[in-house]
Amino acid sequence: MIEPMRKYSFVVFHHDYSQFLDSLRRLGVLHISDYTAEPDAWMQDIMRRRAEVRQLRQQLQGLRVDAAEADAEMPDGAQLVTDVRNCMAQREECSRLLAAAARERAAYEPWADADLDADKMRQLADAGIELRLYRCKADRYDDSWQERWAVEPVSRTDGHVCFALLISADADRPDLPDAEEVTLPSRSITELDAECRRLAAEKAGLDARMAQYVARAVEPLDRYDARLKTEMQMHVATVGTQSAADGVLTILSGFVPEGSMTQVDALVDASPAIVAVSAPAEVADRPPVVLRNGRYSRLFEPVTRMFSLPSYGELDLTPFFAPFFMLFFGLCFGDAGYGLVVTLAVWIARRHLPAGMRGLCNLGLVLGGFSIVVSLATGMAFGVDLSDPAVGLPESVRRLFVTERNFTIGGYHPLMGVAVALGIVQILFGMCLRAANIARQCGARHAVSTVAWVALIVASAAAFGLPAAGVALPAALAYALYGIIGLGALLAFFYNSPERNPLVNFGNGVWTTYNMATGLLGDTLSYVRLFALGLTGGILGSVFNMLAFQVGDALPLLPRLLVVPLILLLGHGINFCLCLISAFVHPMRLTFVEFYKNAGFEGGGKEYEPLK
């Protein structure tokens, strides 16, 4: 849920304003109203520095350098940003120079046997003799060149022949078809070797420094960013205020969660130089959003934030999609053994990760544990179908698994029916939430059309779907359902906008019917992916099992003991990663696209950032 906000307006004697701001910072509960004026030069500089810090932090987290002992002291603030930037630039430039020197050094490789000593080259030049180097394809090289001119092959590599030609400086260049003259770098091979060693040592030192920054600079950068954020808030609280009584009074506006009102009221009561007026925040005030959910729903708030916070005044959908998300994750994962691996891995990592990651770890434990439960119900563990008689479980146990071997729904796999049923339930549930949200924001009469559509869909499914499935309906119930269908159609077509003419509403109802029919069909079919992904993961796991043991049966005992575990480890490792990605991505898609759309989610809420 979204915690209600109170909008405060403080009137403070200007001499006491700085002290008042310090008191508010110590409380840490007031979110200052948006600064609507154009940012001045000072604020633009702060915003630029904060953007630079955040970008640098992301770059450090994305770097892959050799681990180092994190014992170096880190400077703080702007000096750290400058040092890290300089180190990154020097490291990049050093890498570029090293690569260029290595390329120049590689150019000498085909001529390594030619002994191209600089002194000998000068002696030849003094004697009026030029040494020219050539390269051509091996099939184009003519051995007669060695008889006609002073040509000497040096090396044969990559289907090419590298050869040298000695020629008098005043002589004409011989005709060598398809031979390309080669110009070696200006620096000698000895100089290039020394340059490569120097640059490699310099880069190793820069890598060591960068490893220190990767290990220890992120936290100081976060502190610096928080300090810049506080400075910006204080600047807004100073220049973004209103003045009254010729500057004698200063007026500050902001938002406080209702649960923190008593602290602010106590501060106001304790100072005779402060007057405060408060009222419940309105949607038009654009107050910030604070999510206040229970212990279970709070685990899924990171998923909510991946898309957007709800706007103030609309429903927080976190508690409503959380059970579905957990169930969808288990269905997509599709393997109890993989779920056990996730649970154990998160449990171990939880002890070594920072406290700020505790919530994500708890979410991982919940998702991993529930995937074990769901996958055991479907009878799949490490690619083994537990309902298969070959596994050896008692028949009374095997018959409990929800598999095609034990159950079918209309001739189809039972999990396909479960996935479609879950989709219909979540879509209708989302429409009910949309009706509740509309009634909360605009009034109950504006939600009548949405409620009518829900009733129309449910009644139609019962009136026509149950008889098609062989369920006979009592006449009274059938007539009641027909009545609900008729009433729902009337309200959906003629009362979808209470303030407009019913004839105009009819046209809108026809368009809504088209969108509803096509949209509901597409949205419902999207949930089939839950069945398909879970089934695919189980099939891939069983294929790797079959491959490992079939290959192992054809090998002697010792190679079998090595090959079978290797195939199982690699195969299930690949399948585990695919299942893990799909089990997180596709439930998010179903939540953010199908569920959010049918629930009428708008989003765009601002994060609550109190002055502190």
pLDDT tens string 278-322: 889 888 888 999 998 888 999 999 999 988 899 888 889 999 999
Instruction: State both tokens at 592.
Output: 């953010």
**Could you tell me which residues come within 8 angstroms of residue 73 by beta carbon, excluding any fewer than 6 positions away?**
none
Which DSSP helix (H) or strand (E) runs through 7? strand 5-13
Instruction: State both tokens at 188.
Output: 């000698």
Give CA separation, 475 vs 408, 463, 482, 489, in Å. Answer: 30, 11, 11, 21
SS3 content of the chain, % helix, strand, coil (to 5): 65, 10, 25
CA angle 526, 529, 535 (to 5 degrees): 160
The Cα–Cα gap between 603 and 309 comes to 5
Compute how many other C-beta atoms are within 10 angstroms of the C-beta atom of residue 485. Answer: 19
In this predicted structure, what is the pLDDT of residue 442? Answer: 80
Q: How far is Cα of residue 467 from the mean position of the Cα atoms in its chain? A: 46
Q: Please provide the DSSP assignment of 18-84 as one string.
A: HHHHHHHHHHT--EEPP--SPP-HHHHHHHHHHHHHHHHHHHHHH---------SPPP-THHHHHHH
Compute how many other C-beta atoms are within 10 angstroms of the C-beta atom of residue 219. Answer: 11
Question: Contact 255/5 with Cβ under 8 angstroms?
Answer: yes
Instruction: State both tokens at 575.
Output: 């399948």
The Cα–Cα gap between 430 and 441 comes to 16
The Cα–Cα gap between 431 and 149 comes to 90
Angle in degrees, 0-180, between the axes of helices 528-553 and 414-442, rounded to the nearest 10:
150
How are strands ordered across the β-sheet holding 129-137?
A: 150-157, 160-168, 129-137, 180-182
Compute how many other C-beta atoms are within 10 angstroms of the C-beta atom of residue 590. Answer: 25
The Cα–Cα gap between 550 and 564 comes to 9
Q: How many helices (H) and strands (E) does the chain have?
A: 22, 11
The Cα–Cα gap between 222 and 228 comes to 10
The Cα–Cα gap between 455 and 350 comes to 46
Which DSSP helix (H) or strand (E) runs through 365? helix 358-378
In this predicted structure, what is the pLDDT of residue 72? Answer: 61
Question: Contact 43/187 with Cβ under 8 angstroms?
Answer: no
In this predicted structure, what is the pLDDT of residue 240? Answer: 65
Question: Contact 293/1 with Cβ under 8 angstroms?
Answer: yes
Instruction: State both tokens at 15.
Output: 């001499």
Q: Which residues pair with 129 in a beta bridge?
A: 168
Q: Which ranges of the chain have pLDDT less than 70?
A: 35-37, 64-72, 112-119, 240, 243, 246-247, 495-496, 499-509, 511, 514, 517
In this predicted structure, what is the pLDDT of residue 426? Answer: 92
Helix/strand/coil for 403:
coil
Model pTM score: 0.72
**Could you tell me which residues come within 8 angstroms of residue 175 by beta carbon, excluding any fewer than 6 positions away?**
none
Instruction: State both tokens at 329.
Output: 């994750």
Q: How far is Cα of residue 218 from the mean position of the Cα atoms in its chain? A: 20
